């Protein structure tokens, strides 16, 4: 019986456990690179997925991630970064990981065969379901229930024509090669999943106006490193000194977009009004401010 790609053995003549360290590591690196290359074949699906994420966050819905095992860890990594990187309200994100989010190294495998009895989806939500095999019951059941409730689904899997992809609104098949450690999808498959999630959420952040000239202008500023980063961002965008940037951030209560407009000459109230008028997009808000100053 033919095995799915995520369970298949490589056709390399020599297994990694028969190679010396450098050769084994090189083989593993090559598979990681090949796995990442699979993303180019699914650019339209990644683009469509980013649109769904941005649309959800413009509204009142939540991003709900559903996955088990290694795929669950990839989901956790992406979801947990969104508040800090893009200022997304943590209450707008739910992580449904089989067995719960681990607090130590215990991550039981049997939970992926269960269904998520506590999963509740609301109108406006978006489900992001991830499963390397594409047939993990936890993820597939969540996707089926979401579609039955009229909730769109982004499905990410590493095997084609699988139940998860067949159920998804936007299906993303990352056709990664067989793993150098047969079946260990925390490696090549997991690398491709993590990259796909990063690409989707970052492009969604761009479309929400949270990126300006490559800077994260909606970051959550909650430590010394990020206060310094926010000051550099304001100084760069508004073309002001570090001291003026810091003063503007203080006036804006460390809201970076607002601080950029204050540094460019707006009052705090006018900065907020400009951002509200332009749906949180800094570029047209700055243009409108400059147009006002030119009159």
Residue 165: is it exposed, middle or buried by C-beta count within 10 angstroms (0-12/13-18/19+)?
Answer: buried
Residue 4 tokens read as: 């799915």
State the CB neighbour count (10 A cutoff) for residue 7.
Answer: 15
Token pair listed for 24: 């084994």
Question: How many angstroms separate the CA atoms of 251 and 200, rounded?
Answer: 33
- Is-catalytic flag, 55? no
Element (H, E) at 155: strand 153-157
Beta strands in the chain (DSSP E): 63-67, 93-97, 126-131, 153-157, 170-173, 211-212, 215-216
Catalytic residue among 34, 112, 179, 273: 112
To the query of whether residue 273 is one of the catalytic residues in this protein, the response is no
Helix, coil or strand: residue 152: coil
Q: Are 189 and 174 in contact (CB under 8 A)?
A: yes
Beta-carbon count within 10 A of 294 CB? 6
Query: In whole angstroms, what is the distance from residue 227 CA to residue 220 CA?
Result: 9
Residues 6+ apart with CB under 8 A from 179: 6, 10, 31, 185, 187, 188, 189
Which is catalytic among the residues 7, 34, 55, 81?
81
Residues labelled as active-site residues: 81, 112
């Amino acid at each position: 019986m033919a095995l799915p790609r995520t369970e298949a053995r490589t056709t390399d003549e020599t297994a990694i456990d028969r190679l010396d360290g450098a050769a084994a590591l090189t083989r593993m690196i090559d598979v990681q690179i090949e796995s990442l290359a699979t993303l180019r074949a699914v650019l339209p699906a990644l683009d469509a997925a980013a649109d769904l994420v941005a649309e959800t966050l413009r509204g009142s819905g939540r991003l709900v991630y559903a996955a088990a095992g290694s795929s669950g860890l990839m989901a956790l990594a992406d979801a947990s970064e969104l508040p800090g990187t893009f200022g997304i309200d943590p209450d707008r994100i739910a992580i449904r990981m089989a067995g719960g989010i681990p607090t130590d190294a215990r991550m039981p495998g049997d939970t992926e065969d269960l269904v998520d009895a506590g999963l509740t989806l609301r109108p406006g939500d978006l489900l992001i379901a991830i499963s390397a095999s594409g047939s993990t019951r936890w993820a597939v059941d969540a996707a089926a229930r979401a579609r039955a409730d009229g909730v769109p689904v982004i499905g990410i899997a590493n095997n084609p024509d699988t139940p998860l992809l067949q159920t998804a609104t936007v299906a993303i098949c990352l056709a990664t090669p067989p793993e150098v450690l047969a079946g260990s999808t925390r490696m090549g498959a997991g690398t491709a999943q993590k990259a796909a999630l990063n690409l989707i959420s970052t492009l969604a952040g761009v479309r929400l106006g949270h990126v300006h000239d490559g800077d994260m202008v909606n970051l959550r500023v909650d430590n010394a490193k990020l206060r310094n980063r926010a000051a550099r961002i304001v100084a760069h965008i508004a073309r002001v000194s570090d001291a003026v940037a810091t003063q503007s951030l203080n006036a804006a209560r460390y809201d970076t977009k607002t601080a950029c407009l204050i540094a460019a000459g707006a009052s705090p109230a006018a900065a907020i009004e400009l951002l509200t008028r332009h749906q949180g997009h800094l570029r047209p808000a700055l243009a409108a401010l400059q147009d006002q100053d030119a009159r």
